[in-house]
Amino acid sequence: MGAETEKLGGVTRAVFSGMMGVLTNSHLWIRSRAMKFALVLTSLLLGCAFCAPALAFDCAAARSPAEKAICADGSLLALDDQMGKAYGEVRALGDAGAKAALAGSQRAWLATRDGCLKQEKVSACLAAQMMRRLAYLTGRPEAGPGPARPLVPLIRWSKAPTKAEQRIEAFVFLAPATSGEKRFNDLVRGFVNDVIADMGGQPERATTVEVMASLPYASARLVSAHLDIYTMAEGAAHPNTSSRDVNVDLARGRELAFADLFDAAAGPRIIGLCREQVLKDKTERGMGDLVAEELQEFDAALAKALPDLSAWSFTADHFSVTFDRYVVGSYAEGPYGCDLAYADVRPLARPGAWPVD
């Protein structure tokens, strides 16, 4: 296919002709503590620190209100330049399908970015959106020094005329060399493939799949990735949302487990800290106080779900735990969660087991 030149976010980028339209609506639940990103189907995009950068932003050619706002602010223009270089590094190693997927992902992000024009503090909103996108393109974690080898975007993308719409953004190691890095890549790819396969079992219905990833924490010892999932099948009563955390002990080469951090005696204390927060949240959502039988069921569900670290995100100073719908409440209530401060739970950990630097 021939290439044509167009503006994508203030950076001149080659985009393959015949590119299909972009999915712009995202209905994922946004957790209060995390940065969220989006994307879907086609191929792995690999970025590196040594690839040729994208062309510089030409303010003389700025047309949209967002581009003009960026040109009017030197700090935003500098951010745009960094993002353009990161985009170029990711794009440089992709084949035709990967380039198209990246361009589609960028178009969708631009729709989100341009929503800042409706906000009261336009520049602050633009800066936040651009920093989030830059962090995604460069595989930079929200906390921690980062792993020994780089994490890069994994992008899959598909759009009409097929019935399946997919927009996937995740992370994988660029050149996995250890068992831990390979395990992380396998878990992420396996999870993404499972989500797509689940919706692929409904060929007679139009389906939408979105997976949006963030990196709450990463170091040479631990990488913690959070993935939010949104799925919708044509004719269904409602969409489904869920989440999955991938926490890999890179030194041990395996997914981190509750027993790696705490012994059995710590369980009740940790459950109690989370229980208090979730019950308070239920009250604030107007669910009222639970009767004795409901409270017993709630405690049993919490005790079963909380030790599963696939619901835990590691951050700079706390665990953020997310319970999907139905785990400790009805669908209408939405997901619940709790934040467990390291200051409270670290004294309960096994000696030498603490994974956060």
What secondary structure does DSSP assign to 59-96, as a single string? GGG--SHHHHHHHT-HHHHHHHHHHHHHHHHHHHT--H
Query: Within a domain: residue 65?
Result: yes
Q: Are 217 and 143 in contact (CB under 8 A)?
A: yes
C-alpha distances out from residue 328 to 33, 201, 228, 299, Å: 20, 28, 18, 9
Q: Are residues 241 and 277 in the same domain?
A: no
What contacts 233, CB < 8 A, 6 or more positions away? 199, 202, 205, 206, 207
Q: How many CB atoms lie within 10 A of CB 17?
A: 9
Q: Is residue 357 part of a domain?
A: no
**What integer pLDDT is reported at residue 9 of this predicted model?**
43
Average pLDDT over residues 76-93: 92
pTM over 0.85: no
Residues 178 and 295 in one domain: no
Judgement on whether residues 8 and 117 belong to the same structural domain of the protein: yes
In a domain, 30, yes or no: no
């369980």: which residue's tokens?
A: 267
Co-location of 203 and 285 in the same domain: no
Mean pLDDT of the chain: 82
181 touches 149 (CB < 8 A)? yes
Residues 154 and 101: their CA atoms lie apart, in Å, by 10
Same-domain status, 71 and 84: yes
Does residue 34 belong to any structural domain of this protein?
Answer: no
Claim to verify: residue 134 and residue 17 sit in the same structural domain? yes
What single DSSP character describes residue 290?
Answer: P
Residue 185 amino acid letter = N
H or E segment and range at residue 295: helix 292-305
Domain contains 78:
yes
Tally of domains in the chain: 3
Residues 18 and 126 in one domain: yes
Clarify whether residues 92 and 107 are in a common domain: yes
List the CATH number of the domain containing 228: 3.30.565.40
- Statement: residue 304 has pLDDT above 80: yes
Does residue 165 fall inside a structural domain? Answer: yes
Q: What is the pLDDT of residues 102-141, one digit of tens each?
A: 998 999 899 999 999 999 999 999 999 999 999 999 999 9
231 and 309, same domain (yes or no): no
Asked if 213 and 230 touch (Cβ cutoff 8 Å), the reply is no
The CATH number linked to 335 is: 3.90.640
CB within 8 Å of 288: residues ≥ 6 apart: 282
- Domain end position, chosen among 237, 255, 273: 255
Q: What is the rounded distance in angstroms from the CA atom of residue 111 to the CA atom of residue 317?
A: 33
In a domain, 245, yes or no: yes
Last residue of a domain, one of 255, 271, 291: 255
Q: Is the same domain home to 334 and 231?
A: no
What CA–CA distances, in Å, run from 122 to 65, 80, 162, 299, 320? 11, 15, 36, 44, 29
Q: How far apart are CA 342 and CA 188, in angstroms?
A: 26
Q: Specify if 143 maps to a domain.
A: no
Q: Are residues 249 and 305 in the same domain?
A: no
State yes or no: pLDDT of 38 exceeds 50.
no
Q: Per-residue pLDDT tens for 180-231?
A: 999 999 999 999 999 988 887 666 678 889 999 999 999 999 999 999 999 9
Query: Edge-to-edge strand order for the sheet containing 207-218?
Result: 42-44, 151-158, 164-173, 207-218, 222-233, 240-249, 254-255
End-of-domain residue from the set 206, 231, 255: 255
How do beta strands 312-314 and 254-255 pair?
Answer: unpaired
Range of the domain at 10: 3-22+47-138
Question: Measuring CA to CA, which residue among 339, 311, 313 is closest to residue 327?
Answer: 311
